[in-house]
Homo-oligomer: A and B are copies of this chain.
Amino acid sequence: MLTFVLMLSFTEENYLKSLFQLTVETALKEEAGTNELAAHLGVKPATVNDMLKKLKEKKLVKYEKYGKSSLTKEGRKIAIEVIRKHRLWETFLFEKLEFSWDEVHEVAEQLEHIQSKKLIDQLDKLLNYPVSDPHGDPIPNAKGELLILHQHTLAEELVGHQCKMTGVKDNSSPFLKYVDQLGLAITKTIKVLARHEYDDLIEIEVNGKRISVSPKLAENIFVVCTACKKKSKR
C-alpha cells in the first residue's frame, strides 16, 4: 500500500507549529482563534482565515466558520515533527557549533523546514538523543512522543519555596541575554524570598545572592518546585 507524502510549504508548516504551540503545548487549551494565530504568526487575521480553510481541506486542522481551530491527529503529528527538528537543530548549533542560547532560535527557524528523514535521525544520533534543547524545551523523540514537563513560571512560585530553573518561555535574544546577565540559567536553584506589594518586584536568591526581578521577567522563567509535587511523562 502506497502512502502519499503530502508536501507542505514552509508557511503551512509554520501555521501547524503555531497552532500546536498555542494549544497542546500550553496544555490549558484545546483550540485557538483566528486573531490569536495571526498575532502569533505576525500576519493579518484575513490571511490566517484563508490558510485555515486550506489546511482544513488537507485534513490537518479542524475549523468551522466563526469557531476556534484545532489540529487533527495528522496535523498534530506534522507540528511535532517540525518542533522536533527545530529543537534538534538548536541543540546542534549550541553543542557543536559554539552558538549561544540566544543565537540558536533564529537559525533553527530556517533549518526546521529541511526535508530529510535521514538528516534528522543522524543529527539525533550525533547529539546522543538529547531530551531537551538549550532553552529547556523538551525534544519530541523519533516516534513523536513529547515529554510534558510539570513546570510553572517563577511568577507563580510561592514565597519561601525553593525551585530549580528548567526553561524559558520567551526565546528572543534580548530576553535571553538579560537572563544571562542576571546570573540565571537552566538548572540553577532559585529561592523566592519575598514579593513586594509596593512595586510587584520579586526578591529571589540565586548563586548565593539576593536579587529583585520584575513580574514580566518571572513570567518568562520556567521552574519546577522541589517543595511541591513533581511528575513527568512522555
Chain A interface residues toward B at CB < 8 A: 93, 96-99, 103, 106-107, 110-111, 114-116, 118-119, 122-123, 126
* Residues of the B chain whose Cβ atoms lie less than 8 Å from the Cβ of A115: 110
Copies of this chain, complex-wide, total 2
* Residues of the B chain whose Cβ atoms lie less than 8 Å from the Cβ of A93: 119
Contact of A119 among B97, B114, B122 (CB under 8 A): B97
Q: In this complex, what residue of B is CB-closest to A96?
A: B126
User: What are 20 A-B contacts defined by CB distance under 8 Å?
Assistant: A93-B119, A96-B126, A97-B118, A97-B119, A97-B122, A97-B123, A97-B126, A98-B122, A99-B118, A99-B122, A103-B118, A106-B116, A107-B114, A107-B116, A107-B118, A107-B119, A110-B114, A110-B115, A110-B116, A111-B114
* Residues of the B chain whose Cβ atoms lie less than 8 Å from the Cβ of A122: 97-99
Question: Which label, helix, strand, loop or mixed, suits the secondary structure of the A interface?
Answer: helix
* Residues of the B chain whose Cβ atoms lie less than 8 Å from the Cβ of A107: 114, 116, 118-119
Q: In this complex, what residue of B is CB-closest to A99?
A: B118
User: Could you tell me the distance between the alpha carbons of A96 and B115 in the complex, rounded to whole angstroms?
Assistant: 18
* Residues of the B chain whose Cβ atoms lie less than 8 Å from the Cβ of A119: 93, 97, 107
* Residues of the B chain whose Cβ atoms lie less than 8 Å from the Cβ of A99: 118, 122
Q: In this complex, what residue of B is CB-closest to A119?
A: B107
> What is the CB-to-nearest-CB distance from A132 to chain B, in angstroms, rounded to a whole number?
22
* Residues of the B chain whose Cβ atoms lie less than 8 Å from the Cβ of A116: 106-107, 110
User: Could you tell me the distance between the alpha carbons of A217 and B115 in the complex, rounded to whole angstroms?
Assistant: 30
> What is the CB-to-nearest-CB distance from A112 to chain B, in angstroms, rounded to a whole number?
11
* Residues of the B chain whose Cβ atoms lie less than 8 Å from the Cβ of A123: 97
* Residues of the B chain whose Cβ atoms lie less than 8 Å from the Cβ of A96: 126
